[in-house]
Structure 1
């Protein structure tokens, strides 16, 4: 709890100090486009490393093994495509948001309105699991605290910071939070690895290595409260004590489970003796050898390739990520920022992978309930009971809350910026603040109503939606001169509509018995190519609607920065004469 309080106070203090320098629309939307590359890279990494990265990746490694590595690989590799094809031209376009880029490139107010709708959808879909993860974290650390408490704390703190200074206020906050998150994972990882090796490695802790073709085993006696209905897979016969609904009947006492599947309903309490084989939640690898072998955890090849498509192409369509590149002074700085981000992310993702493998040994009980997202929070106290474990637990809890705060801040700013400048809005600071309240309170309400799910799956759908809507518009808008607003709108509607339909089917299925096929959880392999094809075909069919200023706009996006073709649209619309002069003549730090 002390770590969470410290992070909250530090976030508020840094945000308050930075907010005192924010007074204009440019400050709130794009931090006056004066953020140097290294600081911006830390801020991008801070908001990009969300709950799915801090908690979800380790949880997926614990549950799915080698197949879960596609998540950190895709999350990082997406910036390679962003650096090569999007970052510099997007900054040179002079836009300040994705809808503004759509209007500037294709000359359509209707397309701007449609883009605004999808920015809000993506922001909400991404923000809800962050708030739910905050509730999970606080309830794990402080027993008895309701799940909604953490979500409310994060939402309120984020809205306070964003209301105070917008993008200018959260830039320094997010940069600080990246380094805090890195330390919060790196320090426990090093300590736990030293203790793991001191105990003789996998052979000394669990009796067998992770590569052995055996199920994971409880290292000590375990008592587990099942909070949601679950189907468990058993490979070796298990003798346990149960109190609750098991396999369709009410049981209190010793139960024998033979190999196969067994159903346990919510509210049941299970007790396992030490060295008992761990029943694994349905869909996860049953034994360690399968866990280490690719092609066993994520599912079939369709799901794997869909995940790669979503993470690799979805990064360049995430509004809260792209908004940060508008804060760079020029295209060269935007490209340099992207390169630095790739290095920072590669360093960060080493640690949750290691923690997931350690959790397979020390916290196998999470495989029974399916609550693997809590592995990072529980692991320190399981390995090191006592003061050291409490300190490490406080550090990881602080890092988890920093993840929720930084990502939520970026999402609220991006959604608020779009809402405050849509439909002919004047983009005033007052409009931005009202939009921030809406962008923070609506997802909070949704997070409190919807049931908690796998954080990484929810975020994966956000990536699929971004890849199926904005990715085709950005790539073709930057590199293909014949795109039209009709083609772009059709591609966004078809691609985005298919993803939202998959989301609706998955949600309904979750409430009615889980009947939906697994590919609805990762539909990008179908939706992304269909979206690209729609943009291309409809643009060819409406060639007469190619904007007359296409060549001039494309020259601005692709010309070297030193030629001076960049024209910032927000400065022209809202900046005062003094601000325009200062931004035009001032030298930016990189």
Structure 2
């Protein structure tokens, strides 16, 4: 691995800026209100930048470009779904959620349905979703650091965990709000500037020659003699008879020189194998991806399985956003429901702007770093593309900018996830004091770091897609029906979470087993939301209809508080006896909300 001092400098500067902003903001964090909801005085525009900062995770910064590189037109549903989920959040959930006066998602569950048992059950799902979502952030951090330093991938994961835990323990939500808002603008700069520069290079005819048009009815080709090191077992396919040199194991046998692959069957490449291709050789691609550029450029044919898998992905992304605990907790920091809705509108604009750029980088990667189609490590496309198109110092500087932005993505998303899960742990499992929040942060931070060492590194966007499916199948029915249907009962909500969450977890287990035993799992275990989300909604509805005893007695008062206009003054904080009045803390700090 060749050291890129520019990229190392960029990562160090991001880490220092993150620590400085978090430390500075944490000096005024002294109460539970500060740690959980930042005194509920965060401005709409700043909160929107903070929401966008934590939402634009490894899946957005690295994963979107990587999956566009592999899947082409079908992959554009990822950025569309990631953004469109906030439209549903704005229309149906954001304002009532804030008016509930809750501090965490389980706190809202108890406020709406009056069940402590359901609150404890939802606490378990919040912890599971948050920890599961943190794992790809840490994996992405390891990938980024390993691409600029000759270190193992776990080093980046440890670095991000320590830095994020220090900031969160120091000031909770109040400390990370400014950090996440800053990191959104940093990420936008770090993805937009390289995209503009590389597009100029492409349209001016610069960069390596010999690339093949994306619309050509043939696979991409290697533009120069290329050596590829395979880090995990992969299965690839070729469209023509392909000659190359291989050292290691291919097709379940040893290889130590010239090899030939036939287009008639898929071919296996074992971990640790080195492949050497001559310039002009058509690029082998992993078996699940389109082999030719014209197939890559167009959506999948009318195959029913492809269509169902696409709709399942849309279900997961569109409804999963409103069930992500680290997203929902940010709306508790707004002063009222109107501000929460305004925040969501701004988020839609900020996310729509950002997602233009990784999509374009994914298309350029198909032409200039096609070797990633052999290894399956497509998430490295954004990191490798600048130096592939611009050799020398200019490419290294652009790569440094991208690496700094990627590191900011891991830090901001991990911060939001850690705050949301730590807040739930401290208020539901501990008494809820500041020292309990800090203890919960330390305990929660260890869990995803441990999983990084035992789980295989897969495509980041695909692994996060499973997390969205879990959120859509558990909290999405509870929130939508809880906000808009007064006849929802806690047994119905519990049954829906058990059915939806249980099906997703079963699909996840089957998928993991399949990866180790020949990839035999059907499509609905990879994208299960098309089955699990309707099953969760239907179960919640049917059980609620037959369990009238599980509805709170004051349901009309609760629904009025959720939907009454803010000027009526019906909104009030919960758990005042535990945490005091947020308004008192606001006046003491002379905090004032602005648009």
TM-score after normalising by structure 2: 0.96
Measure, in 2, the Cα distance between the counterparts of 1:584 and 1:59.
45
Q: Deviations 1:259-289 (Å, cap 9, x if unpaired)?
A: 1322211121111111110001110000000
Residue 553 (structure 2) pairs with residue 548 (structure 1): yes
Which residues in structure 2 correspond to 1:457-476 (within 5 Å)?
Answer: 457-476=462-481
SS of the counterpart of 1:46? helix
Residue 222 (structure 2) pairs with residue 218 (structure 1): yes
Per the alignment, residue 357 of structure 1 pairs with: 363
Measure, in 1, the Cα distance between the counterparts of 2:182 and 2:592.
24
Per the alignment, residue 248 of structure 2 pairs with: 244
Judged with a 3 Å threshold, the aligned counterparts in structure 2 of structure 1 residues 298 and 2 are, in CA distance, closer, same or farther, namely farther
Residue 516 (structure 2) pairs with residue 511 (structure 1): yes
2:507 to 502, 509, 516: 502
2:460 to 433, 448, 455: 455
Per the alignment, residue 390 of structure 1 pairs with: 396
2:183 to 156, 177, 181: 177
Residue 85 (structure 2) pairs with residue 78 (structure 1): yes
1:233 to 227, 237, 240: 237
Which residues in structure 2 correspond to 1:280-359 (within 5 Å)?
Answer: 280-295=285-300, 300-359=306-365
1:120 to 127, 133, 148: 127
Per the alignment, residue 259 of structure 1 pairs with: 263
What stretches of structure 2 of length at least 5 have no aligned partner? 1-7
Measure, in 1, the Cα distance between the counterparts of 2:427 and 2:254.
58
After superposing the two structures, state which structure 1 stretch, 73-82 or 227-236, moved more. Answer: 227-236
Shift of 1:248: 2.7
TM-score after normalising by structure 1: 0.97
SS of the counterpart of 1:263? strand
2:212/2:221 contact within 8 Å kept: no
1:219/1:275 contact within 8 Å kept: yes
Judged with a 3 Å threshold, the aligned counterparts in structure 2 of structure 1 residues 488 and 190 are, in CA distance, closer, same or farther, namely same
Q: Deviations 1:512-566 (Å, cap 9, x if unpaired)?
A: 2222223211100000000001110111110132111111011011011111111
Residue 284 (structure 2) pairs with residue 279 (structure 1): yes
SS of the counterpart of 2:65? helix
Residue 169 (structure 2) pairs with residue 159 (structure 1): no
Shift of 1:207: 4.9
Measure, in 1, the Cα distance between the counterparts of 2:509 and 2:294.
35
1:106/1:485 contact within 8 Å kept: yes
Aligned residues: 586
Q: Deviations 1:113-153 (Å, cap 9, x if unpaired)?
A: 0010000010011001111111111111112x011100000
1:129/1:459 contact within 8 Å kept: yes
Shift of 1:508: 1.7
Per the alignment, residue 99 of structure 1 pairs with: 106
Residue 73 (structure 2) pairs with residue 66 (structure 1): yes
Measure, in 2, the Cα distance between the counterparts of 1:72 and 1:214.
27
Per the alignment, residue 187 of structure 1 pairs with: 193
Q: Deviations 1:403-452 (Å, cap 9, x if unpaired)?
A: 000000000000000011115x4310000000001111111011122111
Judged with a 3 Å threshold, the aligned counterparts in structure 2 of structure 1 residues 339 and 111 are, in CA distance, closer, same or farther, namely same
Residue 427 (structure 2) pairs with residue 421 (structure 1): yes
SS of the counterpart of 2:227? strand
Per the alignment, residue 27 of structure 1 pairs with: 34
1:222/1:273 contact within 8 Å kept: yes
Measure, in 2, the Cα distance between the counterparts of 1:437 and 1:586.
30
Per the alignment, residue 529 of structure 1 pairs with: 534
After superposing the two structures, state which structure 1 stretch, 405-414 or 503-512, moved more. Answer: 503-512
Measure, in 2, the Cα distance between the counterparts of 1:483 and 1:580.
35
Measure, in 2, the Cα distance between the counterparts of 1:94 and 1:239.
66
SS of the counterpart of 1:513? coil
Judged with a 3 Å threshold, the aligned counterparts in structure 2 of structure 1 residues 82 and 227 are, in CA distance, closer, same or farther, namely same
1:362/1:383 contact within 8 Å kept: yes
Q: Deviations 1:173-196 (Å, cap 9, x if unpaired)?
A: 000000011111001101100111
Per the alignment, residue 446 of structure 1 pairs with: 451
1:298/1:304 contact within 8 Å kept: no
Give the alignment's Cα RMSD to 1 decimal. 1.7
Shift of 1:375: 0.2
Measure, in 1, the Cα distance between the counterparts of 2:414 and 2:206.
41
SS of the counterpart of 1:240? strand
Judged with a 3 Å threshold, the aligned counterparts in structure 2 of structure 1 residues 396 and 587 are, in CA distance, closer, same or farther, namely closer
Judged with a 3 Å threshold, the aligned counterparts in structure 2 of structure 1 residues 299 and 14 are, in CA distance, closer, same or farther, namely farther
Measure, in 2, the Cα distance between the counterparts of 1:546 and 1:331.
25
Shift of 1:209: 1.6
Per the alignment, residue 563 of structure 1 pairs with: 568
